[in-house]
Amino acid sequence: MKITSDFLVIGSGIAGLSFALKVADNKTVSIITKREIQETSTRYAQGGIATVFSNEDSFESHSKDTMVAGAQLSNREIVDMVVAAGPKAVQDLINFGTDFTRNSSGEYDLTREGGHSFRRILHAADLTGDEIERALVAAVQNHPNITVYEHHCAIDLITEAKTLQRRLPENRCLGAYALDIKNDEVLSFGAQITVLATGGAGKVYQYTCNPDIASGDGVAIAYRAGAAIANMEFMQFHPTTLFHPHAKSFLISEAVRGEGAILKRADGTAFMDKYHKLKDLAPRDIVARAIDNEMKTNGDDCVYLDITHKGEKYIKDRFPHIHKTLLEYGIDMGKQPIPVVPAAHYLCGGIKVDSHGQTEIKNLFAIGEVSCTGLHGANRLASNSLLEGAVFGDRAAQLALKNVADTMPTFPVIKPWDHGNATNSDEEVVVNHNWDEIRLFMWNYVGIVRTDKRLSRALRRINMIQEEITDYYWDFYITSDLLELRNLATVAELIIRCALERKESRGLHYNLDYPETDDIHWKKDTVLRKTF
């Protein structure tokens, strides 16, 4: 079955939905998403969205904070552009129906997070992402030109080179194949413009605060099609994820430290003053490594985040969702410190794009966490992620609308999906075993602290596992679990290869064999392309 539209958006978070709403008034849009439309990483973002909304603040300050957090690897032109576009992007979200929290004076309540010089984070209590997603989903569902295909898992891009089976001077994206999970059918989605907005890849690690959907699909799909992938070694580990035997991936927002919480050892000793002048408000890479070091040095399973000094009423009012959730686990954050550990959180690398989110493949865009725009550099500044998604959703829409007018109205004939000699599998245990093994060795060998020996060991393992996955992929009918495993393995390989290539420590990439930052040789992106 073939479905055609002017635009195909893969993913339904802030970036993808913002794009769809900006192009849909006079064009048709198909959105495919792996689960329900609202099940995205955006929905789970607690903290907020950073932008200059105060007279005390400035674009220059926000840009400087972003560059410092990114270990000076961020592209200053991109940083300045995103920061300057921030207020309009936030206003667009408000116009779409997002209800940010206001103070008693009726002004937007601005909070502060680690790495920021001023209060510039707009939030909706402590469920900001959920509120943004709610508003955007409602707007999308009410738009007559947008069709949403839930429970559809992208398989691979359809490109002109692949369709015509020959090399072309300029390859062009024609859409994507996707698995209709509920009906067990592969569909062809043809489109003049395709947008990857699939989010991150936190599930490549054993411990993550990402939802289960974050398996790196967009990065893997784009890499297989020939797009450039950059800076995959920079995986951000959020410093404070709840440590509890029954908590799967509950994040304790950066805003808790922003409002005065203090990290302590089990004996109650605060320790962040040893690691950074900003103490508990240091950038995330510093805080995550500090916690990791404290745990290893003292033999502890976790550290503790203490905000009890702010008082119970304040805590309940400012962090109602976190407070309520912690009570369900038997923890009253108003009376006792919260046990926390670092966990994989945000991919700062991804598909390399230009200032409008356009990839090296014609008519293929990538926006949001799946992309490497140059904003984050070697480490993302807190709450710049939702900002990036909104800004690039708008910028990609501007260029995509122009490109539609310049795109040939007819496509080469898109061939239907070919199952070949595939059969039903009776070895699902292979998928589950490989999934668990990848996540375990990525945590142990390619985590917060790395060495070349650990990275080389991980590369050998992922190469062996990929051979098994390839055989399995072509022998049996595809399933959503198999597709995610295939993508997860590809992303793991890209992270490992980028980490091996960078012979320094910078931002989120810390290698004991190269503990210093080397601006002379390595103040540049790490870029990989698939060889055909």
Q: Could you give the CA distance from residue 20 to residue 310 in angstroms, rounded to a whole number?
A: 42
Count the Cβ atoms, other than its own, within 10 Å of residue 516: 9
Active site residues: 284
Name the token pair of 231.
């800076």
pLDDT tens string 326-374: 999 999 999 999 999 999 999 999 999 999 999 999 999 999 999 999 9
Query: Is 35:154 a contact under the CB 8 Å cutoff?
Result: no
Helix (H) or strand (E) holding 60: helix 59-69
DSSP for 461-523, please give it.
HHHHHHHHHHHHHHHB---HHHHHHHHHHHHHHHHHHHHHH--S-BTTB-BTTB-S--HHHHS
* Domains identified in the chain and CATH numbers: 2-233+348-406 (3.50.50.60), 239-344 (3.90.700.10), 428-524 (1.20.58.100)
Q: Is the dihedral of CA 431, 479, 361, 70 positive or negative?
A: negative
* Burial class for 409, CB neighbours closer than 10 Å (0-12, 13-18, 19+): exposed
Q: What is the largest CA-CA distance in the chain?
A: 69
pLDDT tens string 395-414: 999 999 999 876 555 666 77
Q: Could you give the CA distance from residue 528 to residue 171 in angstroms, rounded to a whole number?
A: 17
Q: Could you give the CA distance from residue 52 to residue 29 in angstroms, rounded to a whole number?
A: 32
Residue 422 has a pLDDT of 64
pLDDT digit of tens for each residue in the chain (532 aa)? 789 999 999 999 999 999 999 999 989 999 999 999 999 999 999 889 999 999 999 999 999 999 999 999 999 999 999 999 999 999 999 999 999 999 999 999 999 988 999 999 999 998 999 999 999 999 999 999 999 999 999 999 999 877 766 666 678 999 999 999 999 999 999 999 999 999 999 999 998 989 999 999 999 999 999 999 999 999 999 999 999 988 877 989 888 998 999 999 999 999 999 999 999 999 888 999 999 999 989 999 999 999 999 999 999 999 999 999 999 999 999 999 999 999 999 999 999 999 999 999 999 999 999 999 999 999 999 999 999 999 999 999 999 999 987 655 566 677 777 776 666 766 677 788 899 999 999 999 999 999 999 999 999 999 999 998 888 877 778 899 999 999 999 999 999 999 999 999 999 999 999 999 999 999 999 999 998 7
Whole-structure pTM value: 0.93
Residue 13, helix vs strand vs coil: coil
Q: Are strands 371-372 and 350-352 parallel, antiparallel or unpaired?
A: parallel
Name the token pair of 338.
């919260």
Residue 225, helix vs strand vs coil: helix
Give the CB-side neighbour count of residue 100, counting CA atoms within 13 A. Answer: 24
E-strand ranges in 245-347 read 262-264, 303-306, 338-347
Q: Could you give the CA distance from residue 238 to residue 253 in angstroms, rounded to a whole number?
A: 9
Helix (H) or strand (E) holding 159: strand 152-159
Count the Cβ atoms, other than its own, within 10 Å of residue 53: 19
* Burial class for 207, CB neighbours closer than 10 Å (0-12, 13-18, 19+): middle
Alpha carbon dihedral 135, 388, 176, 532, in 10-degree steps, equals: -170
* Rg for the chain, CA atoms, rounded: 22
* Burial class for 300, CB neighbours closer than 10 Å (0-12, 13-18, 19+): middle
What does DSSP assign to residue 270?
B
Residue 353, helix vs strand vs coil: coil
